[in-house]
Every structure is written in C-alpha cells, then in structure tokens.
Chains A and B, each alone.
Chain A
Amino acid sequence: MYEGAVQDLIDELGRLPGVGPKSAQRIAFHLLQADPADVERLAHALTEVKLKVRFCEVCFNVAEADRCRVCLDPRRDLHAICVVEEPKDVVAIERTREFRGRYHVLGGAISPIDGIGPDDLRVRELLTRLGDGTVTEVIIATDPNLEGEATASYLSRMLRDFGLRVTRLASGLPVGGDLEYADEVTLGRAFEGRRLIDV
C-alpha cells in the first residue's frame, strides 16, 4: 500500500477493464514522473469525454450531438438496421464499408452470470424503432461467442412477428471471438454471407 493520492490513483486505474494491479501500479508511477503538461492533457481528455460525448438518442452509438454521425448522414439506408453489442463494433463494421444502413447498439450481451438480462440491454428501444415499419431488414452482429449467440437467439425470437428479414452475421468469424478483433476482410465476407435465422 502506498500513501493517499498514489494509492487512490492505483485503485482507480485498477478498476479499468484489462488493467491488473501490476499494470495499475506501473501506469501510476509513469504518470508521477511524466511531464505535468502531458498529465494535464490526459486529465483534460478524461473530463472532456464525459462532458461532450453522449449516446445517440436513436441508436445509442457514441455521439457528440443528440445523434451520432451515422444517424445524421442522409445517405444512409433507412431500411436496414445492424444490431451490435458495443459502439466499438460500429467502428469495426464501418471500416469494412460493407454496410450502408444504420445501427442499434445494445450496450452488451445477455449474460446471467454478470447479471445482464434483456431488460438491461436496449432491446425495448430496438422494438420501438421497428414499430413504424420503415425498417425491413435487421442484421444481428453480436459477438460470435456464447453470450453473443444467446443474445442473437433472443432477439430473433422477439423479432419473429415483425415480418422482417432477420439475418445473423456468422460465416467466417472465428467462434468464441470478439467482433472488434475480426479483420476487415473477414468481417466484410461475414456481411456478404449473412444467413437468415430460423426460429
């Protein structure tokens, strides 16, 4: 244990995803020795991100206004929605330039162990978006792991009666993987090869 401020910093860093106690300590001491201007910039970036960035009111992607860049873009196809777990998945799919519709960010996947059920995700908001009949195709692009698959099956059950084309990204994606780590070619191919879900 270190004294007050140092330990507080280590504790805070240690709560970040992917940062263990050892890395937290290393980062803390790095910051202690760093140029005050650098640390100032980091602190500023942290405050700014909380002040400026929020979630798009339509799709829950990160946005700097009420709506995100995708939702504001008039050229996007309003008939298709791609459902992903996290904003980082939007970035991954945008890189492929394969998809011209809009997104819906669930904010996670169904995982009872972590206490996450459908009501903790933005499922209801998705159903509301589909209500007016504009959207005709939903592409489910949750991660190709157990929780992502469970979320996909749940969604396809909920969407059964909407009369939509519901497809699931799958072919080519490594099972057990994370969408964001799939390379562009694989992800692009996964879009072309998406399959209809039978429920």
Chain B
Amino acid sequence: MHLRHLSVVDFRSYTSAELPLEPGVTTLVGLNGQGKTNLVEAIGYLASLSSHRVATDAPLVRFGATQAVIRGAVVRDGRETMVELEIAPGRANRARLNRSPLTRPRDVLGSLRTVLFAPEDLALVKGDPADRRRFLDELLVARQPRWAGVRADYDKVLRQRGALLKSAAPVLRRGGRRAARPAHVEGVDTASERESALHTLDVWDSHLAQVGSQLLYARLRLLRDLGPYLGKAYEEVSAGQSDTRVAYRSSLREETAGRIAAGEVPEVGELHDEVLASLAEVRGAEVERGVCLVGPHRDDVVLSLGDLPAKGYASHGESWSFALGLKLAAFQLLRHDLGDDPVLVLDDVFAELDTGRRERLAAMVADCEQVLVTAAVPADVPDTLMGRRYAVTLGSVTEVA
C-alpha cells in the first residue's frame, strides 16, 4: 500500500499542511526543528493510533489549538481509502473511514500500515522491557487489528485487578484481625470480607489468565515468525557477521519460563493453566505488595548478539543495527503475511550509520512500495534513495525541483 496524500491541521507545529505523495521514495529535508519528524509522526499515528515519541496526546495538538486532524488517502490494490482522525486530548479520538464515522476509533487500524524507524527505536535495545513489549504488541496489531481489542481488554483486566489488590490487600493481609471493632463482631465480619475479597480475586485471576494467555501465545508465535527475518536483516545491514538471538522472558513459573526462553511455543490452553498456577504461586507476594506480578505485562524480550546480551554489551553501532534489524524484519514479516508492503518510514536514520551501512540500507529498501525518509543533512542520504524531495521549513512544506 502507499499514501497518496497526507494532510494535517493543528498537528504539532503545523497550522495546516498538505503533502502529496506517490509510490517510491520521498525525502523530507530541512534543518533541525523544522517539522520533518512531526509529519512522519502523523503518518505513524494514523496507522497505529499512537505516537512513537510521546505516550499522551496533548503534545500532538498544536500549542494553542484544541484538536488536531490527520487525514490520509491510502491506496491499496488500486483502491483508495480516506482515513481521518481527530485528536483532542481529554476525550476519545474520532475516526472516519471514507467520511463515515466509526463507533470505535480502533476500527481504523489496518487501513494504513506503517513500519516506522526513528532514533527513539534505540530504546528497543537499550531501553526498558516496556519498549520491547510495545514493539511486539504494535506489530501484532499491524498484523491482525483484532489484537488491539485483546490488548485493550488485557489492560482493563490489569487495571481492575490492580485496583482490587490495592483495596483488598489490607483485608487479606489482616487475616482475621481488626483492631477498631468489638471482639464479637470482628470474627464474622472480617471473615466474610476476606472470603468475598478472595472470591473476587479468583474471578479476576481467571480473566487475567484467559486474556493474558491469548496475548502471550500471540507474542510467542510472532517472535517465532520474526526470528528468521531478523537474522537476515541484521546481516544485510551489518554486512555479514554476528548472530542475533531473541528469547522471550516470561513471568510464568520457572519450568515453563525456561521452555519459553528456549523457543518453545506452548498451546494457548496450557499457557492459560500456567498463568493460573503461577498466579497461585505468587498470591502471597501480590497481596503483600498490592501489584500484579504475573502476566504478559511483566515480560521482556532478551536480545543477544552471539552469547552476549545486546543491552549493556553491544556497541552503539551494533545497537543501532539491531534496532534497525528488528524494524526491517517487521517490514518483511508484514510484507509476506499480508502480501502487501506497509509504508516504510525512516526518520533521521542515515545520519547514524556509517557509509557502508547507509548504502546497504538504501539497497535493501529500494524495492519497497513506498519509503519516506527524513534527513537534516541531505548528503547523509545516499543519492540512489533521494527520490522526490520536499523541503521542510518552519512548519511549511514545499517541493524541491
């Protein structure tokens, strides 16, 4: 697929901007802080309903405006779809598809697919587990939009269960003692309070196991499918050498966690039972601390080069290549899965790479249906990749002849 047109209103530094696009390569050039990333961020948001730079929506709306609009004309198999989003912090986004409003904004997911690589992605290697979980989960959604619903359900279960642990923990910890009440009332009342708290916790455990096991299963399969593409992409970017490894680190009981780390993908039913069993094992600790200790929200992906973990060991350039490899692998996976190229966005990537890596990256992406590149220094982008060029200056975009 490709974008034929992008327009934004009150998005970031733009009052309004129109950007005609076509298949092939388009490069946005401009000095620092002129608004290049803002434009590709809008494209990423249209595809994923989230920004690669910020966790909340407020910074996306132009300072002084109340809402931002992003509109994209997406062409797939010769058919054009108009995707439109209204972002207003403090209330739910509104989405339109071919001008008809959607009841749930997340139903636009899948209309536009992008793989966006930006300097922030270095966090995939150097950052927290949350960064890697997000990468997996967003890729899941890009692959099959229905996972957005599962993710949302899981978050909701976690919030409910977390609230319950916090509020019920004192009751459960007390275990039958309560100072302020007369002795004869105390026993009965606290016991029944305890019992109902325990029953309710059981209920949320079963929901967490049900939704959590699905999410976990999907992540494991995704990782298994991604592995081969990753090895290939990393080798291509770095010209041979080194073997990349990815291992899923699960918060389940040791035995199962070990099998999963070794690359096994248990069936979803087994994962379900394992989540329940692991929850039972940590219940004491959960009640003590008032937090959910088991589930996909506690997991991580361990990335290694050879025998050494990438985090803490890999060089700056190796880390970059690893992160880039992950994104290029995601691109290849989506391409083969869907029989259709996502839009590839490379934000400020070339400046970070040595000449050899620049040339090889340029060669690798040359056959993609659409590539959007940003660069502050045009000379950083290999000539073979320049394509159509726009100059971005102070929030306005003009084509460079």
Contacts from A to B (Cβ < 8 Å): 110-113, 115, 117-119, 146-147, 149-150, 153-154, 157-158
Contact = CB atoms under 8 A, between A and B. Distances in A.
Interface stretch (B35-43, B136-144, B194-202): B194-202
Q: Is the interface of A mostly helix, strand, loop or mixed?
A: helix
B164 A112 contact: yes
Interface in B142-187: 153, 156-157, 159-161, 163-164, 167-168
B156 A112 contact: no
B389 interface: no
Given A113-B160, A146-B156, A157-B199, 11 more contacts: A112-B160, A112-B161, A112-B167, A117-B167, A119-B193, A146-B153, A150-B207, A153-B203, A153-B207, A154-B203, A157-B203
Contacts, number: 49
B160 A111 contact: yes
Interface string B17-49: 000000000000000000000000000000000
A146 B157 contact: yes
Of the candidates B164, B200, B206, the one having the most CB atoms from chain A within 10 angstroms of its own CB is B200
Nearest to A111: B160
B114 to A, nearest CB: 27
A146 B164 CA distance: 14
Interface of B: 153, 156-157, 159-161, 163-164, 167-168, 193, 196-197, 199-200, 202-204, 206-207
B203 A146 contact: no
B46 to A, nearest CB: 24
B204 A150 contact: yes
Contacts of B163: 112-113, 115
User: Among A111, A119, A153, which residue has the most Cβ atoms of chain B within 10 A?
Assistant: A153
- Most chain B CB neighbours (cut-off 10 Å) among A110, A112, A117, A146: A112
Contacts of B168: 112, 117
Given A150-B160, A150-B207, A112 B153 contact: no
7 contacts: A110-B200, A112-B161, A112-B163, A115-B167, A149-B207, A150-B207, A154-B200
A147 B164 CA distance: 13
A158 B199 contact: yes
B160 A146 contact: yes
Contacts of A113: 159-160, 163
A112 B200 contact: yes
A146 B161 contact: no
Contacts of B207: 146, 149-150, 153
A166 to B, nearest CB: 15
B200 A117 contact: yes
A34 to B, nearest CB: 29
A157 B202 contact: yes
A135 B244 CA distance: 64
Contact of B203 (A110, A115, A119): A110
Given A153-B203, A154-B203, A147 B197 contact: no
Contacts of B197: 117
B299 to A, nearest CB: 22
B314 to A, nearest CB: 41
A110 B197 CA distance: 11
Nearest to A154: B203
